[in-house]
Structure 1
Amino acid sequence: MNTAKPSAGRFHRRGFLCALGATASVPLLSGCAGRGYEELPSPRRPGTRLDIVFPRGDSYLDITNAHTGERVALRFMDRGRTDRRALRRLDWLFRDWRDGETPDIDERLYWSLAALSDAARRQGHSGQITLLSGFRTSRTTRLLQSRGSGASSNSYHMRRRAADIQFDGIPTDQVSDMAEWLQVGGVGRYYGSEFTHIDTGPIRTWRG
C-alpha cells in the first residue's frame, strides 16, 4: 500500500477558496490593505478579506524562532474565544531575543499568520513557519543599522506589529501573493534573503 504523503501544490488563493468552500462568500476585491508603547489597534478591520477568512479557518500555528530554536505549536482561539495563555506563549516566541523584552504583540498579526498557515495546510503543505524577526527594541534596531542591515527607525517591528517569515516548502513570491490578497496590511517581498515581511499597518506592498 502506498502511504506516501501527496506532494503539495502551488500555494494560491483559488485552491484555498475551493478548500474552504468560501468562493461565493469571500469578495474578490481589487487592491493590495503599557510600558510606553503605542496602544494597539483592534484586530478587526471589517471589509478586509482577512476578517472574512480568518473566522472560517483554524487558528493553529506551528512556529519556530530561527535564532533561538524555540518552537510553539498551538491554537490561540477556540469557538471565537481567545486563549490568553496561548497568546502569551506566542508573545514570548516573538520577543526581542537579544534584549529579552516581551511586549504584547498585535493579535491581528497572529490572525494573519494563522490564515496563511491554514491556507497552506489546505493545499497540502505543512503550514510550518520560521520566524526570522518579530518584535525589535530600539537598541536592537540601532545595532542592526550599525551592521548595515537597513533596519528602519520607524519599523513596525518596533511597534509590535510585524514579522519576517518563511513558510516550509513555499516560495517567497507565493507567500507574499497570498498575504497581499488577504489584505493583512503591509507585505514586503525580500527575494535575496528569501523571506516575506508582513505587518498590520496600512495596506501596501514593496520589494526589498
Structure 2
Amino acid sequence: MPPENFLRIPSVLSTGGPQPGLSRRGILGLGAVVALGVTGSRPAAAWEPEPERAVRLYNCQTGESFSGVYWAEGRPVAEALARIDWVLRDHHSDVCRRIDLALLHRLWEMQEKLESTKPFEVLSAFRSLDTNRHTKGAAAASLHVQGKAVDLRLSGRRTADLYRCALSFGDGGAGCYPQRNFVHVDTGPTRRWVGA
C-alpha cells in the first residue's frame, strides 16, 4: 500500500499517449508538482544564510576595544575571537582565555534588543584564578575564571534598563549593582540578584 502522501500519476506510456481528459499541459504541470513533492524544494528566499553577528566592546581597564563581526556564514570567525579574547583578558597578568561563544551571542542579543550602536564598557571579563582570589566580593567558583561572565555598563543607558534587558532572555546569570553602576551577565545556571 502506498504511503499517504503518494501521488498517483496516470500512465502515459501504456497507451502510447495521454489518458483522455489529461492534456500535454496538464502532464507538464503534474510533473512540476511531483518535482516539488519529491525534492521538497522551497523558494530561494527561505534559504538565506544566517545573518552576521557583531559586537562592540571597550575594556575600561586597558582602553582597548573590539568592534566587528565575530560570527559569519553560520560559524565563528577565528581571528575575531582571538582579538576578543585578548581585549577581554585578565589585564593584571595579561593572561587570556577563550571567551564563551554563548556569552558573545548574549551580548549581541542585548545590543540588538537595546538598539545600541555604542560599545559595552567592560569592567571585568576573564579573570585568572589568582586575580579572582584577590577580587573583592568575587565567588570562588566565579564564571569569570571560565570566560563565561562579564561585568559591563552601557553609555547612555541606566543600569536598571541594562539589567532588565539581561533578565528578558530568561536564562543565564544576571546581577545588578546599581551603586557601582554595572551589570553582571553570564552563561551559567539561571540566577538573579541585586548587589550593592
Q: Same fold (TM over 0.5)?
A: yes
Per the alignment, residue 168 of structure 1 pairs with 155
Runs of 4+ in 1 over 6 A off after TM superposition: none
1:59 Cα shift? 1.7
Alignment of 1:107-126 (within 5 A): 107-121=101-115, 125-126=116-117
1:58 Cα shift? 5.4
Higher alpha-carbon Rg: 2
State how many pairs are aligned: 147
Per the alignment, residue 36 of structure 1 pairs with none
1:203 Cα shift? 1.1
Alignment of 1:169-184 (within 5 A): 169-184=156-171
Per the alignment, residue 138 of structure 1 pairs with 129
Assess if the C-alpha contact under 8 Å between 1:134 and 1:164 holds in 2.
yes
Write the deviation string for residues 137-177 of structure 1: whole angstroms up to 9, x where unpaired.
11112222xxxx21111111112110001112111111111
Gaps of 5+ in 1: 1-54
In structure 2, what is the Cα distance between the partners aligned to 1:178 and 1:90?
Answer: 22
Per the alignment, residue 11 of structure 1 pairs with none
Alignment of 1:47-196 (within 5 A): 59-121=53-115, 125-144=116-135, 149-196=136-183
**Percent identity at matched positions?**
31
Question: How does the TM-score come out when normalised to structure 2?
Answer: 0.70
In structure 2, what is the Cα distance between the partners aligned to 1:58 and 1:189?
Answer: 29
In structure 2, what is the Cα distance between the partners aligned to 1:77 and 1:63?
Answer: 15
1:183 Cα shift? 2.8
Assess if the C-alpha contact under 8 Å between 1:60 and 1:118 holds in 2.
no
In structure 2, what is the Cα distance between the partners aligned to 1:56 and 1:171?
Answer: 32
Label 1:84 to 1:188 Cα distance change in 2 as closer, same or farther (>3 A).
Answer: same
In structure 1, what is the Cα distance between the partners aligned to 2:152 and 2:50?
Answer: 23
Assess if the C-alpha contact under 8 Å between 1:126 and 1:168 holds in 2.
no
Aligned CA-pair RMSD: 1.7
